[in-house]
Amino acid sequence: MNNLIIATLSYSEVEKFNKQKLKKTNTQEKNMLPTKEDIEKEKMAMKEGDN
């Protein structure tokens, strides 16, 4: 199939999409990144361990 035809078919599907059928979800943060302070503490601990 031609790329233009594929793109047109995909776009027509997007136009038909009904947002009303979507369900509401609650997101939860699973993997929190370490704070700047946590990183500094770990760096200091590693330096102390090297001595």
pLDDT for the residue 14: 79
pLDDT per residue as tens digits for the range 11-44: 778 788 888 988 988 888 788 899 999 999 999 9
Could you give the CA distance from residue 33 to residue 49 in angstroms, rounded to a whole number?
24
Measured from the Cβ of residue 13, the count of other Cβ atoms closer than 10 Å reads 9
Nearest one of 33, 39, 35, 41 to 49, comparing CA atoms = 41
pLDDT for the residue 50: 74
Could you give the CA distance from residue 39 to residue 33 in angstroms, rounded to a whole number?
10
Predicted model pTM: 0.38
| Domain limits, the chain | 1-49
What DSSP state is assigned to residue 31?
S
What DSSP state is assigned to residue 29?
-
